[in-house]
Amino acid sequence: MSDHALRVYNQPRNFAAIEAVLRFGDIALSSDDLAQLKKQFNPLELTNSNSADLVNDTRALSSGDVFCAVIGSLSDGREHIAQAIAADCAMVIQECTEQSGHGQLTWQLSTSNAPVAIVNYFKLNENLFAVAKAFYGEPAAHLNVIGITGTNGKTSTSQIIANLLDSCQKNCAVIGTNGAGKLDNLQTIANTTPGATELHQLLSLFANQSITDVAMEVSSHALDQKRVHASLFNTAVFTNLSRDHLDYHHTMSAYAEAKKLIFSGDNNQVAVINGDDLQAQVWLDTWHKSQPVVVYGLGKDICEYDRFAQASAVKHLAEGISFTLNTDQGQCQISSELLGDFNVENLLAAIAVLMVENVAIDTIASAIKALKPISGRMEAYSFAGKPTTVVDYAHTPDALASALDACRLHCHGKLWLVFGCGGDRDKGKRPLMAKVAESKADQIIITNDNPRSEDPDAIANEIIAGFSQTTQVEKILDRKSAINTAFSQAKPNDIILCAGKGHEDYMIFGDEKRHYDERALVSAFYCEEVAL
């Protein structure tokens, strides 16, 4: 979703928003500077045209916006101030590196000779979340925001939560990998977790649309970079931790600490934690007594916590999964069309969130029965006399293992796997993915998965180097051909798992995003069979 796509939200954000930012930053301007600054925003107040937005990317800047020139890890926004002024921004908030410069104001003429204020702000990047919160009038105060973090399961869990809340007479939007908005009208966003300015634009939009709840995926990058703060979330969910993003975090301990930043440590937030996860168990041993926690999982010890949601007697059926739900509020039976043990965990996380919202477990069970599979998450396609194909987003060793395990439970023939590894990402997981594939799949085809700037053949060879033997391994770099090969060779009782792309509708080669929709490709195979 571009910055411009959010401009349907017309609640005035003019000089009052600037005053809120100045107050938050404890910035006192002279009366003359204040009077001149107010003139910059008067036209907006008089015409009630599109309100000013807070923007930290000049590519998303419109006339009358406020540009935040932050010093980022990859680029320095101050280098783009001239571009922002040329684009007719109304004001610039510029990061300064010395506290003594905080609050200093200078004026610069635009191309139309209009004066533009440039205000210094110490540690602006670090404080951008709070600045955006002040500018947009704290929109999260009008919403119940549920944050979901973890290596795997964020997208599925957030969408399950949104579906269930909608079924229980709530009005829930999502923010995450698949986009932002209502599930039936998601708009594309650049990152799983938007930056502070775009995030608050979204929250403002949702508040204006009478959204009651927001289920939001929270990446470790966003937490580490302080794009979001724990204070945003009424409920914070932790799904699991396994190897991923070590190109950024370098160590698993640093990765875990980044994830842990989602928790507030006080009674302003309820934590929902997967008690089966080893990292979560470490945290629970020393949990802040002031922060309430609901623990979920399949282990018998889950029931020992004061507040819990536990699954027992799990059954894997042709039509999905079923289990007995045990909670501190009672017991009931759960039936779902979703596949695999990891979806039992995703459902448990969602159940725990709804329990926090005081939804009765029988009501939750009824809503789950009507729940449909999540787009690109263990999404199965089948036709009589043909193999079943499952499209899933699994792109980490742990997620791939879970997806293969889930498929194996429903597979009566051979289990095929088509997968690759992303370029310019953690190279250490490539041989690990191979070991998982070798131990759990019968036939394997190595192919492309967003090679980016790396040589696709080199990536594939690094994966193949992780196999102890390659008798059942084939390399077909063109992903469409790889899937077509699996589909043409697999037998009716076989299952083909296409892992890594899921909901994505592109493939990245170098800096180029090429159209590639795996769900549409697989669906077309079965449509052709129907037409024959």
pTM: 0.79
State how far the Cα of 132 lies from the Cα of 127, in Å rounded to an integer.
9
Three-state DSSP at 68 gives strand
Q: Which pLDDT value is given to residue 239?
A: 96
Span 376-423, pLDDT tens digits = 889 989 888 999 999 999 999 988 999 999 999 889 999 999 999 999
Bridge partners of 115? Answer: 109
- Predicted confidence band at 74 (pLDDT cuts at 50, 70, 90)? confident
Q: How many CB atoms lie within 10 A of CB 513?
A: 13
Average pLDDT (285-312) is 96
Q: Phi, psi (5° rounding) for residue 398?
A: -65, -45
**Exposure class string for 238-254: b at 16+ Cβ within 10 A, else e:** bbbbbbbbbebbeeeee
Q: Quick check: 106 pLDDT over 80?
A: yes
CATH number for 138-369: choose from 3.30.70.3270, 3.40.1190.10, 3.40.50.20, 3.30.470.20: 3.40.1190.10
Handedness of CA 195, 197, 202, 204 (dihedral sign): positive
- Predicted confidence band at 242 (pLDDT cuts at 50, 70, 90)? confident
Q: Phi, psi (5° rounding) for residue 17?
A: -65, -40
Q: Which pLDDT value is given to residue 493?
A: 93
Q: What is the largest CA-CA distance in the chain?
A: 80
Q: Encoding tokens for residue 209?
A: 């649309």
| CATH topology for the 3-134 domain | 3.40.1390
Three-state DSSP at 29 gives coil
Q: Encoding tokens for residue 361?
A: 């477990």
Query: Could you tell me how far CA 260 lies from the centroid of its own chain?
Result: 16
308: Cα within 13 Å, side-chain hemisphere: 21
State how far the Cα of 22 lies from the Cα of 4, in Å rounded to an integer.
25
Q: Quick check: 47 pLDDT over 80?
A: no
State how far the Cα of 257 lies from the Cα of 297, in Å rounded to an integer.
22
Q: Which pLDDT value is given to residue 252?
A: 83
Cβ burial of 93 (10 Å; 0-12, 13-18, 19+) is buried
State how far the Cα of 458 lies from the Cα of 261, in Å rounded to an integer.
36
Q: What percent of the chain has pLDDT over 70?
A: 94
- Predicted confidence band at 8 (pLDDT cuts at 50, 70, 90)? very low
Q: Which pLDDT value is given to residue 243?
A: 63
Three-state DSSP at 149 gives strand
Q: Which pLDDT value is given to residue 1?
A: 35
State how far the Cα of 503 lies from the Cα of 392, in Å rounded to an integer.
8
Q: Which pLDDT value is given to residue 192?
A: 86
Q: Phi, psi (5° rounding) for residue 12?
A: -55, 130
Q: Which pLDDT value is given to residue 449?
A: 98
388: Cα within 13 Å, side-chain hemisphere: 16
| Helix count and strand count (H, E) for the chain | 17, 23
Q: Encoding tokens for residue 433?
A: 């993915």
List alpha helices for 8-139, DSSP H: 15-24, 31-47, 81-86, 124-135
**Exposure class string for 329-351: b at 16+ Cβ within 10 A, else e:** beebebebbbbbbbbbbbbbbbb
Q: Quick check: 83 pLDDT over 90?
A: yes
Q: Quick check: 11 pLDDT over 70?
A: no
Q: Quick check: 472 pLDDT over 90?
A: yes
- Say if residues 369 and 335 touch (Cβ distance below 8 Å): yes
Q: Which pLDDT value is given to residue 42?
A: 64
Q: How many CB atoms lie within 10 A of CB 425?
A: 20
For the chain, domain boundaries: 3-134, 138-369, 379-531
Separation of first and last alpha carbons in the chain = 40
Span 150-207, pLDDT tens digits = 988 899 999 999 999 999 999 999 999 889 999 999 998 988 889 999 999 999 999 9
Q: Encoding tokens for residue 441?
A: 């799949």
Average model confidence (pLDDT) across the chain: 91
Span 321-332, pLDDT tens digits = 999 999 999 999
Q: Which pLDDT value is given to residue 43?
A: 54
- Predicted confidence band at 342 (pLDDT cuts at 50, 70, 90)? confident
Class of the 379-531 domain?
alpha beta
Q: Which pLDDT value is given to residue 220?
A: 87
Three-state DSSP at 106 gives strand
Q: Which pLDDT value is given to residue 249?
A: 62
Bridge partners of 336? Answer: 321
